[in-house]
Amino acid sequence: MTVEDMKVLESDLERQELEAAGGAPLPASVYTQLLAVYLYHNDLCNAKMLWKRIPDSAKLADEELNAVWRIGQRMWQRDLYLVHVALAQTDSWSEPVALIMDALKGQVRSRALELIGSAYSSITVESLARLLGETPAQALASAASQPGWQIVDSNMILPKKPVPPPGPPLTSEDQLDKLTEFVSFLEN
C-alpha cells in the first residue's frame, strides 16, 4: 500500500466512525484497521485517543485489536526493539489488516534507519540488529544497502548522516533581523 492509499483508507475509516448510526459501536475490524493506519502514519496521539473511544466490549472480544494496540504501546514508549518484538508476535493478521501491518513493518524499519543515521556516528552490528529487529547478518546486509554507510571489521558500522532538507529561503529582511538579534546577543 502506498502512503496515498493509506490516507484514503484512513479518511474512509474515520468517516465510518463519525457516521455510525446513533453512535453505535462499529465492528472491531474497523477499529483495528484505523488503529493500524494511525500507527503506520506514526500518529500516536490519534491512536491513543481512538483506543480510548473504542468500546470495552470490542476490546475484550477482539484479540487482533489488542495485538495492534500492543504495537502502539511499544511505539509510544519509543522502544524500537519491543516494537519489532510486538510486530513479530502475531503471524496471521486478517486480510485487510495484514496489508497495513506489512506496510507498518516497512515504515518502522525506514524510520529506524533514518533515526540511526541521524543519531549515531558509529554503532555495533548487534545494536543495529536490535534496533532493526533483524539478525546480525540481516543488519549487516541492511547497512551495506544504505548509501554512504561503512562497515568496519564486520562488527562496527559508520552510518552517514542524512542531508537535512533545505529550508525555505530567507528574505533579506529576515536575514537582517537574524543578524540584528545575533549582534544584540553578543553586545549583552
- Per the structure, the count of domains in the chain is 2
Q: Report how far residue 9's alpha carbon sits from residue 14's, in angstroms, rounded to the nearest whole number.
A: 9
Query: Are 29 and 80 contained in the same domain?
Result: yes
47 in Cβ contact with 79 (< 8 Å): no
More confident residue, 123 or 168: 123
Please state, for a pLDDT cut of 70, what percent of the chain lies above it. Answer: 98
Task: Tell me the C-alpha to C-alpha distance, in Å, between residue 61 and each of 36, 52, 64, 88.
Answer: 18, 16, 9, 22
- Whether 153 is covered by a domain: the verdict is yes
Query: Are 33 and 96 contained in the same domain?
Result: yes
Query: Are 70 and 141 contained in the same domain?
Result: no
Q: 24 pLDDT exceeds 70?
A: no
Q: Report how far residue 84's alpha carbon sits from residue 14's, in angstroms, rounded to the nearest whole number.
A: 27
- Looking up cell 556516528 gives 121
Query: Are 146 and 69 contained in the same domain?
Result: no
- Most distant CA pair in the chain: distance in Å? 66
Q: pTM for the whole thing? A: 0.79
pLDDT digits (tens, 9 = 90+) for 1-15: 778 888 988 888 888
Cβ partners under 8 Å of residue 179, min gap 6: none
Q: 131 pLDDT exceeds 90?
A: yes
What rounded mean pLDDT belongs to the chain?
Answer: 89
Q: Which helix (H) or strand (E) holds 27?
A: none
pLDDT digits (tens, 9 = 90+) for 42-71: 999 999 999 998 888 888 988 999 999 999
pLDDT digits (tens, 9 = 90+) for 29-47: 899 999 999 999 999 999 9
